[in-house]
Amino acid sequence: MQTGKLRGTSVSTAILPGRKKAEQVLQEYSKRLETDVAERTHELRETHEQLVRHEKLAVLGQLAGGVGHELRNPLRK
């Protein structure tokens, strides 16, 4: 096994290729994770917007139903 000096510390040159490969794999995993998080965040925002639209339509339907009821059955005083 060969050893070299790196900033005054003995470092095995046999370890460096494995470490570089591990760092590369970790970096690729990190990028993939960031992509997954961005995609999921986008999906959640779309779902939230759709839910808000449905809630607005539900409220509008209730309002229209109330108005229709009042037109058919006006309050008598």
Enumerate residues 6+ apart whose C-beta is below 8 A from 14: 1, 2
Cβ atoms of residues 4 and 13 within 8 Å: yes
pLDDT of residue 75: 76
pLDDT of residue 67: 93
pLDDT of residue 61: 96
Tokens, residue 56: 């607005």
Q: pTM (2 decimals)?
A: 0.59
The predicted-structure confidence for 16-67, as pLDDT tens digits, reads as follows 778 899 999 999 999 999 999 999 999 999 999 999 999 999 999 999 999 9
pLDDT of residue 30: 97
